[in-house]
């Protein structure tokens, strides 16, 4: 592992300044939350920062603040704390369930929401040091290679899938991210934070150098709203979603007034399926309607040679999740 300097900021502005200062001196920089992803990348020499800006020393970023307008979740709040937070569980179940589905209790204890959203892809070509698009090369080896776990939507030129469990939940819950950088701060809707490889194949989100994700705002749940997150794994624990679905429904007298369905594990960004949402709005959710929505959810799928199995998996996951969520008291 290459040696690096640890920088301990006092606050968010100081973190940004330390990063900009290091870049100004031609030194490479990474931000660290819990370090559960970053340090493995450093050990495996996939990234080699000269400076690690350790966000854990920033005071106050590990708080969840509940107000009438919604929740503000600091970037350092751990996945375990989110999973156990009573207001998150009551009003934004999709987020609590997504956080609780990540990896293992040990990783959820150190892993932060900021790091979860900003984690790098888990494509085996990238993680094994192939000179792929994510490693500074100009080829995506999964396009014609081992693509069992890759994208069936939105792929090209890279076919990674976005690995975060909380990201689909946050898009479905209509969250907004507070991003802080040298030029000040900006609020970015979660739905616009993640970027497709066709727009920039080297990165997964809109963060510029020296910018950090400081907090997440989740708007208050409207009356009649319920949400959930379901995840399919290729083994029972320790791993990312093969396919997942975050669903938010607003029901009034049993009729669906609003639906947001966002898929994980199937695209380079959390993948919203408005075709499926349209099937539901204005209707009572029956098993037959849920099956139609599942069908609509995969209508735009473009599987690769070895991941066609994700199409029926996604169709059935959407159907089952809708039936279960609509039946919840
Ligand atoms: C065995 C194993 C299984 C895993 N399974 C899952 C899983 O099932 N689901 C899942 O979603 N994840 C999984 N992960 C990935 C990851 O460890 C967790 O998602 C964790 O939440 C990452 O948080 P962290 O704070 O440790 O991130 P870090 O390792 O600190 O950071 C991750 C990345 O985000 C950047 N970063 C961190 N915080 C910020 C910030 N505030 N602003 C800007 N950039 C930032 C870092 O520079 C780094 O590139 C797994 C990891 C391992 C090792």
List of residues 6+ apart from 41 with CB closer than 8 A: 47, 120
Work out how many domains the chain is built from and give that number: 3
Looking at the structure, tell me whether residues 86 and 197 fall in a common domain: yes
Looking at the structure, tell me whether residues 104 and 207 fall in a common domain: yes
- What pTM was computed for the model? 0.98
Distance CA 98, CA 264 (A): 11
CA of 290 to the centre of ligand 1 (A): 33
Q: What pLDDT shows up at residue 238? A: 80
Residue 329 banded pLDDT, cuts 50, 70, 90: confident
| Token pair recorded at residue 227 | 């949400």
Does 130 fall in a domain?
A: no
Mean pLDDT of 111-116: 98
Q: Which residue, chain included where needed, has tokens 């929740």?
A: 71
Does 21 fall in a domain?
A: yes
Q: 121: Cβ below 6 Å to ligand 1? A: no
Q: What pLDDT shows up at residue 237? A: 77
Looking at the structure, tell me whether residues 208 and 233 fall in a common domain: no
Q: What pLDDT shows up at residue 2? A: 85
Looking at the structure, tell me whether residues 16 and 97 fall in a common domain: no
Looking at the structure, tell me whether residues 234 and 316 fall in a common domain: yes
CA of 120 to the centre of ligand 1 (A): 8
Cβ atoms within 10 Å, residue 184: 9
Mean pLDDT of 227-240: 92
- Calculate the dihedral angle through the C-alpha atoms of 229, 234, 235, 236, rounding to the nearest 10 degrees: 10
Give the angle 43-9-202 at the CA atoms, nearest 5°. Answer: 50
Does 125 fall in a domain?
A: no
Q: Of the residues 35, 54, 73, which one is the last residue of a structural domain? A: 54
Does 201 fall in a domain?
A: yes
Distance CA 11, CA 14 (A): 5
Residue 84 structural domain: 64-119+160-219
Looking at the structure, tell me whether residues 248 and 311 fall in a common domain: yes
Q: What pLDDT shows up at residue 236? A: 79
List of residues 6+ apart from 81 with CB closer than 8 A: 62, 64
Residue 1 banded pLDDT, cuts 50, 70, 90: confident
Quick: pLDDT tens for 35-94.
999 999 999 999 999 999 999 999 999 999 999 999 999 999 999 999 999 999 999 999
Q: 84-88, 186-190, 235-239: which has the minimum mean pLDDT?
A: 235-239
- 213 has which bridge partners? 179
Alpha helices in the chain (DSSP H): 12-24, 38-43, 79-84, 86-91, 93-100, 105-110, 113-118, 124-127, 166-172, 190-193, 274-280, 287-297, 310-327
Looking at the structure, tell me whether residues 321 and 239 fall in a common domain: yes
Does 151 fall in a domain?
A: no
31, 94, 119, 180: residue to mutate for ligand 1 pocket, most atoms within 8 A of CB: 119
Would the CA dihedral through 203, 204, 208, 211 be positive or negative?
negative
Looking at the structure, tell me whether residues 184 and 114 fall in a common domain: yes
- Residue 159, classified by CB atoms within 10 Å of its CB into exposed (0-12), middle (13-18) or buried (19+), is buried
Looking at the structure, tell me whether residues 92 and 210 fall in a common domain: yes
194 neighbors 270 (Cβ within 8 angstroms): yes
Quick: pLDDT tens for 243-290.
999 999 999 999 999 999 999 999 999 999 999 999 999 999 999 999
Q: What pLDDT shows up at residue 171? A: 99
Q: Give me the CATH number covering residue 254.
A: 3.30.390.50
Looking at the structure, tell me whether residues 305 and 265 fall in a common domain: yes
Mean pLDDT of 225-237: 93
Looking at the structure, tell me whether residues 46 and 100 fall in a common domain: no
Mean pLDDT of 296-300: 98
Q: 106: Cβ below 6 Å to ligand 1? A: no
Does 134 fall in a domain?
A: no
Q: Of the residues 54, 82, 99, which one is the last residue of a structural domain? A: 54
Does 74 fall in a domain?
A: yes
Percentage of the chain modeled with pLDDT above 70: 100
Does 4 fall in a domain?
A: yes
30, 32, 205: residue to mutate for ligand 1 pocket, most atoms within 8 A of CB: 32
Looking at the structure, tell me whether residues 214 and 274 fall in a common domain: no
Residue 6 banded pLDDT, cuts 50, 70, 90: very high
Cβ atoms within 10 Å, residue 258: 16
Mean pLDDT of 228-236: 94
DSSP sequence for 1-22: ----EEE--SSHHHHHHHHHHH
Instruction: Please check the confidence at residue 176 and state whether its pLDDT lies above 90.
Output: yes
SS3 label, residue 149: coil
Distance CA 196, CA 155 (A): 8
Q: 78: Cβ below 6 Å to ligand 1? A: no
Q: Of the residues 200, 219, 238, which one is the last residue of a structural domain? A: 219
Cα 202 off chain centre by: 17
Q: Give me the CATH number covering residue 40.
A: 3.30.43.10
- 177 has which bridge partners? 188, 216
Mean pLDDT of 146-172: 98
Q: 35: Cβ below 6 Å to ligand 1? A: yes
List of residues 6+ apart from 117 with CB closer than 8 A: 164, 166, 167, 170, 177, 193, 205, 213, 216
Distance CA 61, CA 69 (A): 19
Mean pLDDT of 108-123: 98
Q: 181: Cβ below 6 Å to ligand 1? A: no
Q: What pLDDT shows up at residue 287? A: 98
| 243-252 β-sheet, strand order | 225-232, 243-252, 255-264, 271-272
Q: Whose CA is nearest to atom 33 of ligand 1?
A: 119
Ligand 1 atom closest to residue 40's alpha carbon, by position in its atom list: 53
DSSP state of 204: S
């Amino acid at each position: 592992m290459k040696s690096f300097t640890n920088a301990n900021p006092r606050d968010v502005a100081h973190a940004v300044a330390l990063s900009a200062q290091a870049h100004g001196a031609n030194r490479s920089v990474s931000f660290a939350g819990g370090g559960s992803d970053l340090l493995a990348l450093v050990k495996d020499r996939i990234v080699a920062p000269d400076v690690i800006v350790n966000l854990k020393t920033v005071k106050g970023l590990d708080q969840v603040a509940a107000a009438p307008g919604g929740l503000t979740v600091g970037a350092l709040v751990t996945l375990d704390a989110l999973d156990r937070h009573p207001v998150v569980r009551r009003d934004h179940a999709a987020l609590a369930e997504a956080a609780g589905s990540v990896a293992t209790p040990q990783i959820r204890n150190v892993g932060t929401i900021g790091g979860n959203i900003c984690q790098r892809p888990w494509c085996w070509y990238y993680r094994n040091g192939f000179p792929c698009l994510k490693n500074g090369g100009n080829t995506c080896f999964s396009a014609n290679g081992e693509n069992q776990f890759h994208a069936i939507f939105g792929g090209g030129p890279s076919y990674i899938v976005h690995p975060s469990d909380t990201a689909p939940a946050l898009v479905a819950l209509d969250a907004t991210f507070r991003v802080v950088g040298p030029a000040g701060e900006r609020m970015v809707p979660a739905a616009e934070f993640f970027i497709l490889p066709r727009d920039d194949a080297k990165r997964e989100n809109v963060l510029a150098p020296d910018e950090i994700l400081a907090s997440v705002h989740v708007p208050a749940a409207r009356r009649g709203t319920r949400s959930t997150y379901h995840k399919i794994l290729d083994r029972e624990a320790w791993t990312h979603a093969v396919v997942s679905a975050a669903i938010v429904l607003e029901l009034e007298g049993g009729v669906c007034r609003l639906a947001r369905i966002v898929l994980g594990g199937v695209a380079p960004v959390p993948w919203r399926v408005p075709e499926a949402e349209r099937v539901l709005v204005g209707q009572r959710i029956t098993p037959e309607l849920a099956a139609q929505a599942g069908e609509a959810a995969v209508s735009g799928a473009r599987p690769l040679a070895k991941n066609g199995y994700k199409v029926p998996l996604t169709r059935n996951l959407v159907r089952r999740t809708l039936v279960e969520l609509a039946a919840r008291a």
